[in-house]
Structure 1
Amino acid sequence: MSSLTSSTFSTESPFSHKHHNTKHYLSKFRKIGSQSPPNLQIKLIEPILYFQGNPEESLGCFMRGELIMNLTKPTKIKRIEMNFFGRMKTYWPQCKIYYGSHTNRNELCEEREIIKHNWIFLSSPTASSSLHTSHSLNSPPEYHLLSAGVYTYPFELFLPGTLPETIQAQLGNVVYKLHATVIKPGFSTNLRTSQHVTIVRTLSEETNSQGIAISRDWLNLINYEITIPNKAYSIGDSIDIDLKTSPQVKRVRVLGLRIELNEQSIYRSRGQKNIESKILSTYRINELDSDGDNERDNDLILDDIFYHKNFIFPLPKCSNCVHISCKWPSITISHSLKFHINVKIPVNSKKTGNFINKFKKEVIEIDVPITLLSCSCVENLPQYDESWINLDQGYSRDLPPSYETSIADKRRTINLSNLNHFSESIVNTTINNNRRHTLH
């Protein structure tokens, strides 16, 4: 089971604020809508952040974006800061309907901070001169006077892969949020804005491509094989299932098949544990009439023959009823496909030990664990074969480039290498800055 470590960072942003031409940026804001532009907003470069692999193998990712402040007139500003936090919360079922005091309600809930970071984009002028005890007439003002315009403050933060993904479950959740504040002097109203950050976890391609294969023999009467190409599927996707059955004795019949998608949720709050189980969806194939004697047109029925069928199991769409699979100390949600194979088998005589002309019905039950991912994980990447076909079709057998073209390409390559070096220097500066503030 993965363990959580709470981490707190506080850094002054290495990026100085940028003042752009007011008319140019206001025209951009007007294109967004007919209403006036917001005074303060957070824009993420990647709206959804992805962790690939389980917490032990995930490399994490960077969260990047900009804090944008729009001033329509000269404004006095004392401080501009932004906080990022992540919290995991679990609660007892009675907590949602409890109307007692706040103290008693907290006894039924547990909230834990798992990460926190602070950016200071613009500090108060008096912060640098706080060592001076005496105040003179020439002392600096307690605010910055910023002219009208649009100010952007870039930010970035590395998020380790050991963090839990965003979870919204019945009795627990994991939430990440950015909250920015522009503090004004005196009794002026401060500017505030917030932005939720969504973190989605996926399985590594190597792990997911291994698939699921089950082959068993049931009471020496029937051998069955179940094959599923992947271990994880996005909510709203469909599962391709391959089923094979072969009888080991004569007069064995498969009467029908039912598949259930089960979800089990385990919540832990203040030493207490609550377990909830439910069936999300059911899929049936070739059921019998209610009397059980007259059989329909049933291609699942076999009599001493090998049977093979491939079918699609549709998963529920994205909703509050189905949750992603996760495994954390406070919240654990698991899913499984439960196969119910209804069979009719001959009865074995107690005296002779041979099968007699009597039958009884039995149910073969198989649990197949699967992983449900966020519906944001739907990928439509081309296969390698398709990529090579496209490359082959676009292949050109032209003459080598001229000298002038080669020189131009070389210059372009040099510029790209300089750009990559510049990007790496920004990332390294930010990482070193985070380390320095963490050690203090």
Structure 2
Amino acid sequence: MDKLRSHAKVKIHVENENLIMYGASTESAGCVLRGVMNLQLQETTKIKSIKLELAGKMTVSWTEGVGNGHDRMFREEKSVLEHKWTFLPKQQKMHILSAGSYTYEFEMVLPGDIPESTYVANFYTVQYQLKATIERSRFLPNISNRKVVHVSRQLLPFTPEFLEPVSVANQWANKLDYEITLPSKIYTHGDQIPITIRITPLVDSLRVRHLSCTLKEYMVCRAGAQGFLNTRSRAHGRVLFSARDDKFGITNTNNGGNFVEWTKLQTIQLPSSPQELQCDIQNDAIRIKHKVKFVLSLINADGHISELRAALPIIICAVNNTGLPAYGETWRTLPYNPTSMLALLYQQTGNSPASTSMINANYSLPSYNSIFDSEEEEEQQQQSHPSSAVLPPPTYDEISPWIVSN
């Protein structure tokens, strides 16, 4: 008899949690989501159905004044992608599954025109999520689990100028020369940005109060895009990094007619999480870009305070490379790889092959089924309930002829 609280566990394992679409939305071939869903039953259990759902949702929220100093929060949500896998369909009688491990494969080609995963708190969000549901009888709670999949876009190709150092140099009010240099314009999550700052004062009377460096992320949600924001476009910004040096240029002496040069190497550590740092995005719904900004606060001879401001744009990408993806990356992303799938089946689930049951859902993969001998196939077909026979993993010698021939 089923208990109110089941000890069953369901887990979702994907081949890659961070999927990348290469090219613009009008030219991208998309990407492939594949993985396995594993159900662990410690006792015989009655189950109504087993399914897996992929849902992509876009959410935009903003505030508007309604008069008398009051604001009203608006929120709109739209579905951008839906797909469902039914591994065990509903029927008149409940399915009875014996204790053991049940594994279900899933695969889907995501179209290349879907929006990228984005998370801007209380402003704009696009999220793709897998949800596994083990439906039980009417009066018993379902067994479920969720997994978020991040989808990025790599715009190609980058011209060679993106690989060259980026710098801004000029003279300010005939009082100083300045130069700010970055080694490249393209960066990705977890990178370090070394920035070289050189200031050459041209007069002795100039003093520095402080030098600040800031990395900012700018977002504009476009009006009327994707059915959202029937009024005006909404802008949002946030500071990702900020540093201030109050000792920069503390000395300024003229030694034998040669003016000193103030130099500084400022390093910016980029966040590793896609939630903390968004990639540059430009689509029908939103535009995201990044700038490194500098402010040099100066004290003139008469005590007047001036500020020298400069900004350098940078590009945050999912992958820090240029040109087309490498052959190895393309081969691993698009075709079916039986070796990696078997690793998901037996290694990520934490089960030994002798205790794992294999069920193919909605389709039959010849790369897996055809490598078993006739005795095992006959034993599998004799099963009358949804659970299949206990199948040992194929050896390398059994897999390699199929890979070569196909």
- For 1:270, which of 229, 234, 259 is the aligned residue? 229
Find the counterpart in structure 2 of residue 24 from structure 1: none
- 1:151 paired with 2:102, answer yes
Matched residue, 2:244: 284
Does residue 193 of structure 1 match 2:145?
A: yes
Q: Distance in 2 between matches of 1:301 and 1:182?
A: 79
Structure 2 Cα separation of the partners of residues 70 and 299 of structure 1: 75
> Alpha carbons of 1:110 and 1:233: their partners in 2 closer, same or farther (altered >3 Å)?
same
Name 1:11's counterpart in structure 2. Answer: none
Partner of 2:387: none
Q: How high is the TM-score relative to the length of structure 1?
A: 0.56
Name the residue aligned to 2:312: 368
Return the alpha-carbon distance in structure 2 between the equivalents of residues 83 and 253 of structure 1: 65
Compute the displacement of 1:178 (Å): 0.9
Change (3 A) 1:88 1:61: same
Separation (CA, whole Å) in 2 of partners of 1:300 and 1:329: 55
Aligned to 2:54: 84
Give the Cα separation in 2 of the matches to 1:69 and 1:85: 21
Alignment of 1:214-253 (within 5 A): 214-218=168-172, 222-234=176-188, 237-245=191-199
SS in 1 for 2:402: helix
Q: Distance in 2 between matches of 1:187 and 1:87?
A: 30
Equivalent residue number for residue 114 of structure 1? 80
C-alpha deviation, 1:117, in angstroms: 1.2
In structure 1, the residue corresponding to 2:403 is in which secondary structure?
helix
- The alignment partner of 2:146 has SS state of strand
* C-alpha deviation, 1:338, in angstroms: 1.4
- Cα deviation per residue 1:73-118 (whole Å; 9 max; x = unaligned)? 44444432211011110112379xxxxxxxxx9x811111111111
Which secondary structure state, in structure 2, belongs to the residue aligned with residue 117 of structure 1?
A: strand
Listed one character per residue, the Cα deviations across residues 134-174 of structure 1 (whole Å, up to 9, x for unaligned) are: xxxxxxx5454433321111111222444333222122211
In structure 1, C-alpha distance between the alignment counterparts of 2:140 and 2:256, rounded to whole Å: 81
Q: For the residues of structure 1 that align with 2:163 and 2:308, how far apart are their CA atoms?
A: 27
Residue in structure 2 matched with residue 100 of structure 1 by the alignment: none
Give the distance between the partners of 1:234 and 1:275, measured in 2 at CA: 23
Quick one: structure 1 residues 299 and 262, their matched pair in 2 at CA, closer, same or farther if it must change by over 3 Å?
Answer: farther
| Fraction of identical pairs, as percent | 26
Equivalent residue for 2:403?
419
User: Is residue 260 from structure 1 mapped to residue 214 from structure 2 by the alignment?
Assistant: yes
TM-superposed CA distance for 1:205, in Å, is 9.1
Partner of 1:28: none
Aligned residue identity for 2:291 = S
Q: Structure 1 residues 157, 189: closer, same or farther in 2, change over 3 A?
A: same
State the alpha-carbon separation in 2 of the partners of residues 301 and 419 from structure 1.
Answer: 74
| Contact preservation (8 Å) 1:254, 1:302 | no
**2: CA distance between counterparts of 1:303 and 1:343?**
22
How many angstroms apart in 2 are the aligned matches of 1:175 and 1:112?
11
Q: Could you tell me how far 1:239 is from its partner in structure 2?
A: 1.6
Query: Does 2:135 correspond to 1:183?
Result: yes
Cα distance, 1:301–1:76 mapped onto 2, change above 3 Å: farther
Which has the larger helix fraction? 1
**Root mean square deviation, CA, Å:** 4.5
Give CA-to-partner distance per residue, 1:410-438, whole Å, 9 cap, x none.
Answer: xx99964732665xxxxxxxxxxxxxxxx
Corresponding residue number in structure 2 for 1:340: 295
Query: 1:338 & 1:315 partners in 2: Cα distance?
Result: 15
Aligned twin of 1:174: 126
Q: Give the aligned residue type for 1:418.
A: W
| Larger Rg, first or second structure (1 or 2) | 1
Letter in 2 for 1:92: W
Structure 2 gaps of 5+ residues are 1-5, 66-71, 223-227, 322-395
Cα 1:152–1:82, aligned 2, differ >3 Å: closer, same or farther?
same
Q: Report how many aligned residue pairs link the two structures.
A: 310
Q: Which runs of 5+ in 1 are unaligned?
A: 1-35, 96-104, 126-140, 289-294, 347-357, 380-411, 423-440
Compared CA separation, residues 124 and 283, structure 1 to 2 (3 A): closer
Query: Could you report, residue by residue, the CA deviation over 1:211-258 in whole angstroms, capped at 9, with x for unpaired residues?
Result: 5233445456655332212324456643201234557x6668573532
Structure 1 position 43 matched with structure 2 position 23: no
Q: Which residue identity is paired with 2:292? A: L
* 1:315 to partner: Cα distance: 3.9
Q: 1:146 to 1:421 in 2, by over 3 A?
A: farther
- After superposition, the Cα gap between the structure-2 partners of 1:40 and 1:250, relative to the gap in structure 1 and judged at 3 Å, is closer
